[in-house]
Amino acid sequence: MFGRQRIEYKTDDQILSMRRAGLVLAEALDAAVAAVRPGITTADLDGVFRGVLDAHGAQSNFLGYHGFPATICVSVNEEVVHGIPGGRVLEEGDILSIDGGAIVNGWHADSARTVIVGEGDPEDRRLSQVTEDAMWQGIAALASASHVGDIGDAIDDFVSSQPGAPLGILEDYVGHGIGTAMHQPPDVLNYRTGHKGAKVRPGLCLAIEPMLVRGGIDTVTLDDDWTVVTTDGSRASQWEHTVAVHSRGIWVLTAHDGGAARLKPLGVTPVPLSE
């Protein structure tokens, strides 16, 4: 027990500061997603995202993180996470994950969305939809969870119950705590292990981010020391939200509506603090 990292529990006021970062981030992701089209480069998307942060006086928590050179990760097709924006031109049918973060007054938010360029492959659309739905299942589970491990159980159970070709849940990359830093304890697994994990109590803030693939879950990191790709070339999807637990419920800090629309069908009503 003495080797465990301490979890940072937040006050209501601190959660409100994270909410401000979350709203800026949601707007920046809206803009980046809206800019996706054939012919645009991944660097162009980074510029769109950066412009929204600059307009709000917010900082990127990705830029400079262990030397990362951009404000977002853009991972295309077989790239799973940590793709570096650059001169790559998006083409009709590409599937890409845009992962970004924002800092406002020292408090962090982290969120990701998957986008398909044009109509795309129906199986890619299914991949993205199941990944997004799995994220919401994990968030809904947090509302009544006693331990963080309940989130991974819910995600795993949902993904494994879906009809059609099986989808793989990455195990090497998981969600995390978040607050005064982008990555904090505890780890948030996206799969069932039998390990309970940390207790859930008010003040806990988590980034819940399942990553699914259409093939095997083995990955390798490219020579740029960042971009993670599937070893079998199968396509990938990532969805992520930052979620707070407080004394009256949960609140999705990086969703404009706090998560209300997607959580209502799952029997959960998010409870905002005073904004």
- Pick the closest to residue 77 from 212, 236, 239 (CA basis): 236
Known binding-site residue numbers for substrate = 82, 183
pLDDT in tens, 158-206: 999 999 999 999 999 999 999 999 999 999 999 999 889 999 999 999 9
Residue ranges in 75-199 assigned as alpha helix (H): 122-142, 149-160
Decide if 206 contacts 176 (C-beta within 8 A). yes
pLDDT in tens, 114-155: 999 999 999 999 999 999 999 999 999 999 999 999 999 999
CA–CA separation, 243 and 272 (whole Å): 11
Omega cis (within 30) before 186:
yes
The b-or-e profile of 100-139 (16+ CB within 10 A means b, else e) is bbbbbeebbbbbbbbbbbeebeeebebbbebbbbbbbbbb
The amino acid occupying position 92 is E
Known binding-site residue numbers for a divalent metal cation = 99, 110, 176, 209, 240
Predicted confidence band at 3 (pLDDT cuts at 50, 70, 90)?
A: very low
Predicted confidence band at 1 (pLDDT cuts at 50, 70, 90)?
A: very low
Decide if 100 contacts 209 (C-beta within 8 A). no
Indicate the SS3 state at residue 140: helix
CATH number of 12-266: 3.90.230.10
Domain boundaries, the chain: 12-266
Decide if 215 contacts 234 (C-beta within 8 A). yes
CA–CA separation, 147 and 126 (whole Å): 30
Known binding-site residue numbers = 82, 99, 110, 176, 183, 209, 240
Give the pLDDT of residue 5: 74
Q: Quote the pTM value.
A: 0.97
